[in-house]
């Protein structure tokens, strides 16, 4: 039996892990249950609509462990996760530890495994924003460096690793495409949005979808105020729907920023999110995953960051980087109204990234 420990903790990781868990299930059907997957939830995200909803909707196997580490600072969270994950790994002695993306849970899982000489497989390896002020950039660089299997989603990610000398390291690097494309293709077909979201979309007619949660925006009063001012102005002529991350909700309350025109809703499950993305006219976001989903649904995207890891979207004109600059956001939105965009590139693989990860691990 080949034992995989999967570490998850934050919303996008549940979606990515759902893809690979399904691929493991398919492998086991054909190959007489060769793989045992044990899911460890660090507890980084803990509200029902930030965590449980994804396990239920996407039928992800229940975590065997929940470490209940969440709500603290980066140092506290990462330290507590490291200690608790190490104990799980000592008890379970897996063949590989699978980590996703760039969160504190990713780094803690990778570090705990590497120190015990357990191979780490990093899904979404090689992405870089080249902004070391981002917690995510620190997490992804350090995670890549201690990983044995680097599953890159794009050629750019492969190139980034080569630039950093990874061709000289004894690691396995491969571009398998993006698991988020697998997820979007598979779950959109199920079309299971809630009645509430369908009614909201019907009542709005046309709308933009926005999400804002990145620390670089929420931790700066100047940036969060500018973004919200821009969204409020846009909302005067086109409704903006904003599912509000709990972090953003707290910050808006702390700075007493009142939203009058934006339609704020609680964070939604993945099916509702896919429905909003497929029915909106455009997306404004600082999310990594949502930038790509905008592209998957052929919607233009204005990114509320100064840089992005998904540079190919900017290069081909699907994504416009507007930062947290009110004027830039407003002029990017004005340009969008100028005409329909033609989507013609395939940038994130063939929708079978999950199967390729499993095949690659079992081949080694
Ligand atoms: C984390 C990731 C970020 C990712 C995002 C996905 C890091 C450094 N950041 O950011 O890369 O894009 O997840 O959504 O790992 N909170 C709740 N309930 C929850 C979760 C969070 O109230 O279920 C609040 C808490 O006040 C918490 C704050 O949000 O302290 C921030 O949560 P945290 O997990 O530290 O960072 P995210 O902003 O969610
Ligand atoms: N998402 C969701 N509900 C929401 C907001 C986001 O299901 O209310 C999904 C979104 O469709 C994407 C993933 O969560 O698949 C991205 O997560 P997030 O924006 O939190 O993180 P990031 O990708 O920036 O790390």
| Separation of CA 44 and ligand 1 centre (Å) | 7
Pair (53, 152) in one structural domain: yes
Do residue 357 and residue 327 come from a single domain? no
Q: Whose CA is nearest to atom 10 of ligand 2?
A: 290
Best probe residue, ligand 2, of 243, 273, 288, 319 (max atoms within 8 Å of C-beta): 273
| pLDDT bucket at 91, cuts 50 / 70 / 90 | very high
Same domain, yes or no, for 61 and 34?
A: yes
The string of pLDDT tens digits covering residues 153-187 is 999 999 999 999 999 999 999 999 999 999 999 99
Whether 185 maps to a domain, the answer reads no
Task: pLDDT band for 364, please (50, 70, 90 cuts).
Answer: confident
The answer to whether the CB of 9 falls within 8 A of the CB of 110 is no
In order, the DSSP letters of 38-59 are EEEE--SS-SGGGTHHHHHHTT
Given a cut of 90, is residue 32 above it in pLDDT?
no
> What per-residue confidence (pLDDT) applies to 337?
87
Residue 343, in any domain of the structure: no
Instruction: Return the pLDDT at 33.
Output: 76
Whether 239 and 290 share a structural domain:
yes
Same domain? 253 vs 150: no
From 213, 245, 279, 316, active-site residue: 213
pLDDT band at 339 (very low <50, low <70, confident <90, very high): confident
Q: What is the pLDDT of residue 203?
A: 98
Q: Which atom of ligand 2 is nearest to the CA of 286?
A: 24
Residue 213 falls in the annotated catalytic set: yes
Which atom of ligand 2 lies closest to the CA of 214?
Answer: 24
The verdict on the CB of residue 295 being under 6 Å from ligand 2 is: no
| Torsion angle of the four alpha carbons 265, 267, 273, 279, in this order, in degrees rounded to the nearest 10 | 10
Q: Are residues 9 and 94 in the same domain?
A: yes
In a domain, residue 341? The reply is no
**Is 184 part of any domain?**
no
Q: Both 114 and 170 in a single domain?
A: yes
Parent domain of 110: 2-178+349-363
**Cα–Cα nearest to 54, from 89, 93, 15, 80:** 15
Pair (20, 128) in one structural domain: yes
Percent pLDDT > 90 in the chain is 97
**Mean pLDDT value across residues 318-330:** 98
How far does residue 289's CA lie from ligand 2's centre (Å)? Answer: 6
66 and 209: one domain? no
Test site for ligand 1: of 11, 16, 44, most ligand atoms within 8 A of the Cβ: 44
Q: How many domains does the chain have?
A: 2
CATH of the domain at 231: 3.40.50.2000
Nearest CA, atom 19, ligand 2:
287
> How many angstroms separate the CA atoms of 65 and 46, rounded?
14
Instruction: Check if 246 has its Cβ closer than 6 Å to any atom of ligand 1.
Output: yes
């Amino acid at each position: 039996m080949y034992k995989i420990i999967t570490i998850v903790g934050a919303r996008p990781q549940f979606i990515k892990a759902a893809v690979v868990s399904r691929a493991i299930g398919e492998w086991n059907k054909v190959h007489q249950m060769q793989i045992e997957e044990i899911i460890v939830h660090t507890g980084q995200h803990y509200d029902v609509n930030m965590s449980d909803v994804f396990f239920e909707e996407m039928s992800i196997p229940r975590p065997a462990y929940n470490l209940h580490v969440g709500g603290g600072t980066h140092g506290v969270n990462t330290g507590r996760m490291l200690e608790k994950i190490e104990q799980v790994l000592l008890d379970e002695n897996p063949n590989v530890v699978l980590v996703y993306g760039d969160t504190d849970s990713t780094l803690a899982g990778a570090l705990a495994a590497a120190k015990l000489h357990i191979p780490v497989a990093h899904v979404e390896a090689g992405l870089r924003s080249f902004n070391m002020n981002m917690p995510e950039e620190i997490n992804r660089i350090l995670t890549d460096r201690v990983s044995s299997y680097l599953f890159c989603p794009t050629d750019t990610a492969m190139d980034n690793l080569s630039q950093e000398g990874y061709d000289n390291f004894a690691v396995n690097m491969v571009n398998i495409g993006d698991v988020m494309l697998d997820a979007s293709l598979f779950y959109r077909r199920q079309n299971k949005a809630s009645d509430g979201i369908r009614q909201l979309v019907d009542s709005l007619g046309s709308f933009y979808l926005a999400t804002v949660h990145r620390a670089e925006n929420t931790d700066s009063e100047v940036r969060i105020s500018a973004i919200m001012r821009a969204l409020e102005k846009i909302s005067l002529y086109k409704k903006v729907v904003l599912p509000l991350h709990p972090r953003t909700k707290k910050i808006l309350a702390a700075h007493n920023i009142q939203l009058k025109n934006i339609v704020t809703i609680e964070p939604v499950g993945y099916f509702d999110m896919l429905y909003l993305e497929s029915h909106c006219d455009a997306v404004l976001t600082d999310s990594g995953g949502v930038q790509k989903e905008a592209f998957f649904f052929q919607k233009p995207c204005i990114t509320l960051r100064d840089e992005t890891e998904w540079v190919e979207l900017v290069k081909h004109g699907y994504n416009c980087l507007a930062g947290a600059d009110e004027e830039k956001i407003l002029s990017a939105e004005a340009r969008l109204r100028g005409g329909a965009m033609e989507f013609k590139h395939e940038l994130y693989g063939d929708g079978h990234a999950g199967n390729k990860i499993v095949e690659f691990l079992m081949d080694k």
